[in-house]
Structure 1
């Protein structure tokens, strides 16, 4: 039995669109995090909300950067 070649689960044509969408979502979540930090007082802050918002922004920016690299031809 011949081995199957490794193929991406995402079509190559979707890389630019995915990078744009994920980077945009990540930047919006990052902006909301900064606005929350700038407008909330020390007594009103919630650590869980900060961690969740930071994690969501990090995931979207990370995958958006990955797809941007893939779309530009840098295969990582």
Structure 2
């Protein structure tokens, strides 16, 4: 039985577009996190909102960075 080559589930031509959009979403969420932290008082902050915003921003920034590396030819 011949082995099948490993291929990407995402077309290579989509890498730059995915990188731009995911990094933009991640940066907007990061900015909203910082704005929330600086404008709310300590007593009115919500840990769940902070963790959710930080986790989603981290997800988008992580995958955006991955697609940026892949688009520039650094295969990780």
TM tier relative to shorter chain: over 0.9
Cα distance in 2 for partners of 1:49, 1:42 equals 13
The CA deviation string for residues 39-64 of structure 1, in whole angstroms up to 9 with x for no partner, is 00011000010000000000000000
Local SS of the residue matching 1:43? helix
Query: Segments of 4+ in structure 1 off by > 6 A?
Result: none
Equivalences for residues 26-45 of structure 1 within 5 A: 26-45=26-45
Paired residues in the alignment total 76
RMSD between aligned alpha carbons? 0.3
- Equivalents in 2 of 1:10, 1:17: separation in Å? 11
Structure 1 residues not aligned, in runs of 5+: none
Where structure 2 has 5 or more consecutive residues not aligned to the other structure, the ranges are none
Structure-1-length-normalised TM-score: 0.99
